[in-house]
Amino acid sequence: MKQNRRIVILTGGFSEESDVSKVTSSEIAKALKSKNYEIKMINPIEFKSYSKMIIAIKEFEPFIIFNGLHGAGGEDGRIQSILSLENLPFTGSGYKASAISMDKYVSGILAKYIGIITPERYLIYKDFEYDIDLISERLGFPMVVKPNDSGSSVGVSIIKNKNEANNAIDKASKFSKKILFEKFIEGRELTVSILGNKSLPVVEIKPKDGWYDYTNKYTKGKTIYEAPAKLTSEEKAKIQEDALRVFNLFGCKAYARVDFRYDGKNFYFLEVNTLPGMTPLSLTPMAAKEEGYNFKELLEEIIKLSLKN
């Protein structure tokens, strides 16, 4: 009997990260096609309803769905819930872990509960009154203002005084009803990708100008990446252990990426990305390469791990 090598790749979607998703899914498709998989690209936005999308997926009869979506609708547990209810296997974490990881405020509380250090945070709701004096007294300046449940650094501002707060809130509220204020941690930006139940080499992110915003993240030459990051063996062990503890606490599966800031003394957990990017500038393929996986091998390992119970 001929082995089923059909894979649906979810691409695009409804979020502000749809363009990044299309690049991610295009790279995934190219690599998997070269390994003789039969690929069908499906963009949820092209269907009148999710039920219509499910029909299209089932007609193709894939053995797995590779989730190449990013942001709201693709990374927050919603699409995972639909696929799970239809008993359709898909890559990455399930709906609970995805929802927890996408909510920065909740994920920070959970991480803090098991002793992982997080920046001081304050959550407000769009259109609700807030007291910037109280927030600034608690967090100090500079502080980060960002959507509570979005990615790719969209809607994020770093503010230096109270006068900049309203504009930052307006910017963040375009992408979420919940706005997170976060104490800015001076220092290094580090990330740890998890594959299976193992932490991959740490990657350090060094923007040439400013901070790691959308432009620096997705424009070639704007950021320097050090893989592996220059850390002592003790520092490396600590951040990799913290990343794996958070991954397991949230119930993540197959792969993810865990972001930190490091002030030279403490590693501050920021967030978990349950569907890390797979673009030419993405950090998880970079870390996997240091571990000895080429891009095609990484994708096949993600598929294998995702099919495990």
Residues designated catalytic: 17, 152, 218, 257, 259, 271, 273, 277
Q: How many CB atoms lie within 10 A of CB 103?
A: 21
Q: Are 223 and 205 in contact (CB under 8 A)?
A: yes
Handedness of CA 21, 297, 63, 85 (dihedral sign): negative
Q: Are 88 and 63 in contact (CB under 8 A)?
A: no
Which token pair is 105?
């405020």
Distance between CA atoms of residues 108 and 116, nearest Å = 9
* Sheet of 64-67, strands arranged across: 38-42, 6-10, 64-67
Q: Are 131 and 173 in contact (CB under 8 A)?
A: no
Ramachandran area for residue 22 (φ above 0: left; ψ -120 to 50: alpha; else beta)? alpha
Q: Are 116 and 261 in contact (CB under 8 A)?
A: no
